[in-house]
Amino acid sequence: MTTHDIATDTAPADICTEAEIQDLVHTFYAKARADEALGPIFNGMVHDWDEHLATLSDFWSAVILGTRRFTGMPMPKHAAMPNLKAELFERWLVLFGETTDALPNRALADAAQEMAKRMARSLWYGYQLSRDPNQPLTELRSPAHPEPHPEARPA
């Protein structure tokens, strides 16, 4: 077996197309812009939406498909934003969850949700550390793991 055969045999197939990624990004940011809590932040900071949507499509293409078009720096950009709170990241995740839950492509939905949770958690840690490295870090409440219903708890 040649090196080429090994690479071909083990390379994972792409789970979605670029068009599906663009669709996801456009649908999500339409929701985020219209959201009572997140809308004012996005609409106040993003002046060129075509450019923002292209950047975010590159980002998701990089993390889902392994392309290399994204060259941004999410951590310092979010750290520089005034007044971010855990609730805003949690809201972001709820809207992203709603958007991805509606996708027919379940492999894309699962991969995107997993990555979004990891990124949100990491951006929120980075945000807290950039504000006050001595404060204890708080966790995001994950919409995928709500508190168990009281009746479901063991007695």
Residues that bind ligand HEM (CB under 6 A): 38, 41-42, 45-46, 55-56, 59, 72-74, 77-78, 84, 88-89, 92, 116, 119-120, 123
Q: How far apart are CA 44 and CA 93, in angstroms?
A: 20
**39 and 4 Cβ atoms separated by less than 8 Å:** no
Q: What is the DSSP letter of 149?
A: P
Please, what is the minimum distance in Å from the beta carbon of residue 91 to ligand HEM? 7
Please, what is the minimum distance in Å from the beta carbon of residue 140 to ligand HEM? 10
Q: How far is CA 153 from the centre of its chain?
A: 31
Which residues, at least 6 apart from 3, have a Cβ–Cβ distance to it below 8 Å? none
Q: How far is CA 59 from the centre of its chain?
A: 10
Q: Kindly tell me which of 6 and 137 has the beta carbon lying closer to ligand HEM.
A: 137
Query: Of all residues in this chain, which one has the CB nearest to ligand HEM in the complex?
Result: 72
Please, what is the minimum distance in Å from the beta carbon of residue 95 to ligand HEM? 10
Please, what is the minimum distance in Å from the beta carbon of residue 130 to ligand HEM? 14
Alpha helices, DSSP H, located in the chain: 3-10, 18-34, 39-45, 49-65, 74-79, 86-101, 106-131
**3-state DSSP call for residue 85?**
coil
Q: What does R_g of the chain's alpha carbons equal in angstroms?
A: 18
Please, what is the minimum distance in Å from the beta carbon of residue 108 to ligand HEM? 14
Q: Kindly tell me which of 77 and 106 has the beta carbon lying closer to ligand HEM.
A: 77
Q: Kindly tell me which of 6 and 114 has the beta carbon lying closer to ligand HEM.
A: 114
Q: Kindly tell me which of 17 and 39 has the beta carbon lying closer to ligand HEM.
A: 39
Q: Kindly tell me which of 24 and 56 has the beta carbon lying closer to ligand HEM.
A: 56
